[in-house]
Amino acid sequence: MPVKKKPSSKKVLKKNEKSKVIKKKHSVKKISKKKIVKKVTKKVVKKVVKKVVKKAVKKIATPKAPKIKKITAPQDFKSGENVVYPTHGVGRILTIEKFQYDLVEEQLYVIQFFQDKLTIRVPFAKAKLIGLRNITSKPSMTRTLSVLKQKPKIKKAMWSRRAQEYDQKINSGDIKLLSEVVRDLFRKDDQTEQSYSERQMFQVAFERYTREFAISSSLKFEDASTKILEILNKR
């Protein structure tokens, strides 16, 4: 019987090395496949998540911004114009501005009353309702001077009642009614003295009437005041 030769140790080593290399290649391939699968799954997951998020965002009703209601009204007066506000007298429109409140926007007249050091804002839409008006024209103002030349018409009622009537006339914004208060409350130096409240009321009526008369007649306040007092003293 022929005796089988044992493989040399060198050959055995070579075979082992080859098997190790093959195993390494297989393991590398497995690792690379895993990495590829992970990357692919990540991309797929991201795409799916994005689609889900987009759909969810679309389904959620985004609240609409509330609409601002603009109140429109005609502009009857210009900036820099003199006007009469019934309860404050003569004032000047400094500027026109927009104002927003409670989702409402409207335009306002900014009016300054120099004698009272007061500034107020009047919406366009409420100007007529309040009684804001232009300065009385010169011909109409001249006609009111005839009222001042008349004798005072004083009622025999209590002062409290008469004071209420005078106050209503002063704050009416009507230049004719204002001239009647000036006529009735004016007292010459040689006439009976007035009470403090009477003098105060006369001063308010006289100042308002004189300021409007001065602007209407293109006079200074002092010159207009002198002219009116002359008319009152002559009657």
pLDDT of residue 101: 80
Per-residue pLDDT, 189: 77
Tell me the CB-side half-sphere exposure of residue 15, using CA atoms within 13 A: 6
CATH number of this structure's domain 69-133, picked from the four choices 2.30.110.10, 1.10.150.120, 2.40.10.170, 1.20.120.1200:
2.40.10.170
Domain boundaries, the chain: 69-133, 138-234
Question: Candidates 3.20.20.450, 1.20.58.1290, 3.40.50.300, 3.40.50.970; correct CATH number of 138-234?
Answer: 1.20.58.1290
Each residue's pLDDT expressed in tens, for the chain with a length of 235 residues: 454 444 555 554 455 555 554 555 455 445 555 555 566 566 655 666 566 656 665 666 566 777 877 888 899 999 999 999 999 999 999 999 998 888 888 999 999 997 778 999 999 999 999 999 999 999 999 999 999 999 999 888 899 999 999 999 999 999 999 999 999 999 987 777 789 999 999 999 999 999 999 999 999 999 999 999 999 999 8
